[in-house]
Amino acid sequence: MARITIEDCLKRVPNRFVLVNMTSKRVRQIREGADYLVNSPKNEDIVVALREIAAGKIRIKEEPDPDSSEPK
């Protein structure tokens, strides 16, 4: 299998900070027992997480901005 690169992931993620955040959250999920979303035998959890992001299996969840809520 070809090596995964940061550039492959940055095609799906807007910047490196978001990529690091997404990857760390996904690694935690995998270590807590979540199933792999891509077939990646004999790889470390971080490599699997990066492969999932590059494949488009992981997306950013948009959360509403707390400052833009309606006034009370």
Q: CA Rg, the chain, in Å?
A: 15
pLDDT of residue 67: 75
Q: Which domains can be identified in the chain, with CATH numbers?
A: 6-59 (3.90.940.10)
pLDDT of residue 59: 86
Contacts for 9 with CB less than 8 Å, ≥ 6 apart: 19, 23, 50, 53, 54
List pLDDT tens digits, range 3-59.
Answer: 888 999 999 998 999 999 999 999 999 999 999 999 988 899 999 999 999 999 998
